[in-house]
Amino acid sequence: MSENLHIIEHPLLKAKLTVLRDKNTNRQTFRRTLSEVAMLMTYDLTRNIPVKSIEVETPLEKTRGVELHKDVTLVPILRAGLGMIDGILELLPNARVGHIGVYRDKTTLLPVEYYLKLPDNVNETFVILVDPMLATGGSALAAIEILKKQGIKDLNFLCLVAAPEGVKAVHDRFPDVRIFAAALDRQLNDHGYILPGLGDAGDRLYGTE
């Protein structure tokens, strides 16, 4: 669909995604598996993260290595995005975490913004926007617009499952945003849910409806 859509292919990731899709997966397993999936996906997303060369000394001699060239900022879309943060922090423990409160009205399917807290100088960092589902694209578009207004030009969006409609909506408006997903599903149903999907990730994480 787009050169900036990256479907992360890995047998272990597919197996864990199957656990998340299963309606019989209990809440504890869902939370743990979502965190594990986020960690696996972050490994691939950061493949091209900027680094700089440094010198270190081994027990035997000096050698060259690398360290991250930019700070990393994670920005989960509340509330379901929070379920992925712990897994990402396993790989990026020094990352800063901002928060964007955007939810999709279940009647109008339009995004409603209710909270925003971002670290200072966020536009100078490597930013990863996080939300398990990219359905209609409404919440993602609202969050991306907020981040763009902060001067962020190099933006990565990490989601678990994406619908073609959501991917198209994001890339029609923000073609430079890189989307990383574990799966591109078939379509949306009449209520704006992804098919086959895995239901409402937030509800399954927190036991609400």
Residue 151: left (phi > 0), alpha (psi -120 to 50), or beta? left
Rg of the Cα atoms in the chain: 17
- Token pair 């198209």 is found at 168
Q: Which of 46, 79, 104, 178 is labelled catalytic?
A: 104
Tell me if residue 203 is catalytic: yes
Tell me the two tokens of residue 45.
Answer: 């997303």
Q: Which of 27, 108, 154, 186 is labelled catalytic?
A: 108
Tell me if residue 200 is catalytic: yes
Tell me the two tokens of residue 168.
Answer: 């198209």
Q: Quote the CA–CA distance of 176 and 190 in Å, as a whole number.
A: 29
Tell me if residue 172 is catalytic: no
- Token pair 């409806």 is found at 209
Q: Which of 22, 172, 176, 203 is labelled catalytic?
A: 203
| Cα Dmax for the chain | 65
Tell me if residue 71 is catalytic: no
Is 195 in a helix, a strand, or coil? strand
Q: Which of 131, 136, 185, 200 is labelled catalytic?
A: 200
CB 140 within 8 A of CB 161: no
Question: What is the set of active-site residues?
Answer: 104, 108, 200, 203
